[in-house]
Amino acid sequence: MRALVLERQHELKLRDIDLPLTVGPGDVRIRIHTVGVCGSDVHYYTHGRIGSFVVESPMVLGHEAAGTVVEVGTGVTGLKPGDRVCMEPGVPDLASRASKLGLYNVDPDVVFWATPPVHGVLTPEVVHPAAFTYRLPDGVSFAEGAMVEPFAVGLQAAVKARIQPGDTAVVTGAGPIGIMTALAALAGGCSRVLVSDLMAEKLAIAGRYPGVTPVDIREASLAEAVSAATGGWGADVVFEASGAPRAYDGIQALLRPGGCLVLIGMPVEPVRFDVSSIAAKEIRIETVFRYANVFDRALAMIASGKVDLKPLITETFPFDDSVAAFERAAEGRPGDVKLQIVL
């Protein structure tokens, strides 16, 4: 099949590649319609690796996807040909200790699309377990279906924060995950979310949502903005979604005593923590790696209208222009949030 193949760092090609399409028991075969361009895909393209995951052989990119079921394997009862679906891209070993603890996202043997050496889904058809395939409600488009995966990361963060109704939250970083985390926090009960960034264009997009207060940290102090919003008490939750080491400088000062710091972004270098200040406030620290047990809830929130992700889709490219889509994503244009590819 034709696919978008990362041959090696900085080299992408649309070419034929032999990919397995055998439909086994419990599987479904899916014709892909829409795939989102994720920051991790771009990182593999530009850097050739993410931490210990290294691209050592050609790999098909793409893991944020929606499409149509065209064939079902034996034992599949909840899906049928013609169903529009989105797919959770990580398949764990359900017998692993991590899975039995409900932490299948950190199962060492999880098979995750477009994570070396596993191929992704920027190709016309794929086979996937029905257990990790979700039917799209009639009111949810393919474009929105392909946004369920990144939104699930934000929802995982909101769940980890244990939000209480009326909480004030802060999100550092107004990229796709940062904005989606803010929306998940609002839908989860926060009364307001302050979102900080260096890019006015991204902050303008975030600021279109009711309940979001953008803070341009080139022109204003985030600590002062949080203090003013909370009467000096501090935020209930801070979500670090930028991955920038500098975001950690003084981050504990943003939180109230007993507040929660949720780490989402992955810094490319070690960061410094003021442990004494964190301990003195009894700040609770949570971490996020992808998501577990929230994918169906993420889809339900989109279907209900509580979360509108359509404004975050900046541009859609045809499959033939996939290389151009990745080159555009690698530019990091300030006004871009989510680029998608339609097959």
Would residue 292 count as lying in a domain?
no
> What is the rounded CA–CA span in Å between residue 297 and residue 118?
26
How far from chain centre, in Å, is Cα 317?
20
186 shares its domain with 271: yes
Q: Average of pLDDT values for 167-180?
A: 97
Q: Are strands 84-87 and 27-36 parallel, antiparallel or unpaired?
A: unpaired
Q: Residue 30: which of 75, 65, 78, 55 has the closest Cα?
A: 65
Tokens of 291: 């998501």
- CATH label of the domain that carries residue 246: 3.40.50.720
Q: What is the pLDDT of residue 214?
A: 98
187 and 223 both lie in a single domain: yes
- The answer to whether residues 11 and 140 belong to one domain is yes
How many structural domains are present in the chain? Answer: 2
- Which of the four pLDDT bands, split at 50, 70 and 90, describes residue 161? very high
DSSP letters, 60-114, are E---EEEEEEEEE-TT--S--TT-EEEE--EE--TTSHHHHTT-GGG-TT-EETT
Q: What is the pLDDT of residues 174-192, one digit of tens each?
A: 999 999 999 999 999 999 9
Residue 299 resides in a domain: no
On whether both 195 and 58 belong to a single domain, the answer is: no
Instruction: Compute, in degrees rounded to 10, the torsion defined by CA atoms 318, 320, 325, 330.
Output: 170
294 domain-assigned? no
* Domain presence at residue 247: yes
Q: Which domain holds residue 221?
A: 157-287
Q: How sure is the predictor about 226, in pLDDT bands with cuts at 50, 70 and 90?
A: very high
Rounded to a whole number of angstroms, the distance between the first and last alpha carbons of the chain is: 13
Could you tell me if 26 and 105 lie in one domain?
yes
Determine how many CB atoms are found less than 10 A away from the CB of residue 168: 22
Do 135 and 168 share a domain, yes or no? no
Tell me: do 193 and 139 sit in the same domain.
no
Strand 338-342 versus strand 27-36 pairing type: antiparallel
Domain membership of residue 236 (yes or no) is: yes
pTM for the predicted model, two decimal places:
0.96
Q: What is the CATH number of the domain that holds 140?
A: 3.90.180.10
- Spatial neighbors of 163 by CB under 8 A, at least 6 apart, are 169, 185, 188, 189, 190, 236, 237
- For residue 148, what are its two tokens? 């369920």
Please tell me whether residues 6 and 67 are part of one structural domain. Answer: yes
Residue 242 belongs to a domain: yes
Domain membership of residue 301 (yes or no) is no
Say yes or no: 8 and 136 in one domain: yes
Q: What is the mean pLDDT of residues 104-110?
A: 94
Q: Is the same domain home to 66 and 46?
A: yes
142 and 175 in a single domain? The answer is no
Average pLDDT taken over every residue of the chain: 96
Cα three-residue angle 333-199-227, rounded to 5 degrees: 160
pLDDT for residue 174: 96
Residues 199 and 72 in one domain: no
User: Would you say residue 296 lies in a domain?
Assistant: no
